Amino acid sequence: VGAALSRKVNRAYDKIRLIGSGLSVPERLAAWLLRMQDARPDQSACVKITLTHERIAQVLGASRESVTRALSSLKKLGVVEVRGIHFYVRDRGYLLGLLQPPQAAGQVCGSDVIPVTDVSAAI
């Protein structure tokens, strides 16, 4: 019972961090897809998602329309391919790039800016 409760608390904490992270909807979607892929034992490109756009939006703390728009954009770019309930992450680097702060040429990050190099740090 304690282990099950701990898992539920950790999942709730992850959701709260994702929603309160200040990331845009496409960035939250990218972080969520990467986390879903990382959760697979083989970390294959195929991620089985049995959630509707509405439910994904609830998980991400966004509107269904925003999630649909972000997912459509990723599909047009060829980053993600969707076949039914199977999402194929075709360009993991692009998703990771969404989570990186933009760097101006020759500009060094200030002490208050922490670049995201780990998906778990973004969510």
Task: Label residue 66 by pLDDT band (50, 70, 90).
Answer: very high
Distance between CA 34 and CA 30 in Å, rounded? 6
Contacts of 100 (CB under 8 A, 6+ apart): 115, 116, 117
pLDDT, averaged across the chain: 78
Is residue 10 very low, low, confident or very high in pLDDT (cuts 50, 70, 90)? confident
Q: In terms of pLDDT, which residue wins out, 105 or 79?
A: 79
Kind and range of the H or E run holding 32: helix 25-39
When pLDDT is averaged across residues 39-43 and rounded to a whole number, the result is: 78
Phi and psi at residue 36, in whole multiples of 5°? -65, -40
Residue with tokens 């994702």: 18
Tokens for 34, please give them.
């990467």
Token pair, residue 28, equals 């939250």
Starting at the edge strand found earlier in the chain, the sheet holding 86-89 runs 46-48, 86-89, 80-83
Percent of the chain topping pLDDT 90: 31
pLDDT band for position 64 (50/70/90)?
very high
Query: Is the pLDDT reported for residue 15 higher than 90?
Result: no
Q: Is the pLDDT of residue 120 over 50?
A: no
In terms of average pLDDT, the best of 11-25, 46-60, 102-116 is: 46-60
| pTM tops 0.85 | no
